[in-house]
Amino acid sequence: MARPEGADTPLDAVVLAGGAARRMGGIDKPGLAVGGRTLLERVTDAVRAHNAAERPARGHGEDGARVVVVGPPRPSPRALYVREDPPGSGPVPALRTGLAHVRAPRFALLAADLPHLAPAHLAVLDAALEAGGTGAVFADSAGREQWLTGVWRTDAVRAALADYRGRSLYGLLGPLEPRTVRLADDLAVADCDTPDDLARARRLLDPPGG
């Protein structure tokens, strides 16, 4: 089966980091520290490490890859920071804004609060996309697609957005019929929506005695 266009180029990323974090009391959730790095840093580091790991096989590293963070600008991590209009208007406007700055034929769409996301997870999604189709997303152990943990063909999502007037990522991305990658456990897609989620991530990732 033919490899999708752009399979030999670095992976861009759109990271959604502008939510209200209501279940966390409205705090700056992407800026919370877990295991010595902020949640946002952990996600962007995973993207860059994935691209660097692909360098021997593909002749590319992270050079030329673009990480677009849709949310308030901050000194770290380094990224292109943009805001949807109006700020906080939801994931579809945020994706629309971020995707306008993607240059690569493939991009990862990610939440900013995935403390366990690793380069190996992105490699699995990337490989699934290379097998064909418009996208690849993780499904949790219950079989639910995780729309903010996926890799997509840029042109396919741009075309879908051009005619979409809804508000849900499911309504936008579901009709693209992405490949689903079932997880043996849910750590890769375990986000930090609540204080209990954050406490669990810190138990697993903070150094002993830290």
Per-10-residue mean pLDDT, the chain, length 210: 55 88 73 95 96 62 77 95 91 97 97 96 96 96 94 98 94 97 90 91 82
Please give the pLDDT value at position 28: 87
pTM of the predicted model as reported, rounded to 2 decimal places: 0.90
Please give the pLDDT value at position 3: 45
209 within a domain of the structure (yes/no):
no
Please give the pLDDT value at position 38: 96
Domain count, the chain: 1
Please give the pLDDT value at position 205: 94
CB 21 within 8 A of CB 29: yes
Please give the pLDDT value at position 59: 40
30 within a domain of the structure (yes/no):
yes
185 within a domain of the structure (yes/no):
yes
2 within a domain of the structure (yes/no):
no
193 within a domain of the structure (yes/no):
yes
Q: Which domain holds residue 186?
A: 12-204
Question: Angle, nearest 10°, between helix axes 91-99 and 154-162?
Answer: 120
For residue 57, the domain's CATH number is: 3.90.550.10
Question: Cα(44)–Cα(67) distance, rounded to whole angstroms?
Answer: 7
169 within a domain of the structure (yes/no):
yes
Helix (H, G, I), strand (E, B) or coil at 15: strand
210 within a domain of the structure (yes/no):
no
Q: Where are the alpha helices (DSSP H) in 34-110?
A: 39-53, 55-58, 91-99
Question: Cα(101)–Cα(104) distance, rounded to whole angstroms?
Answer: 9
94 within a domain of the structure (yes/no):
yes
Please give the pLDDT value at position 111: 96
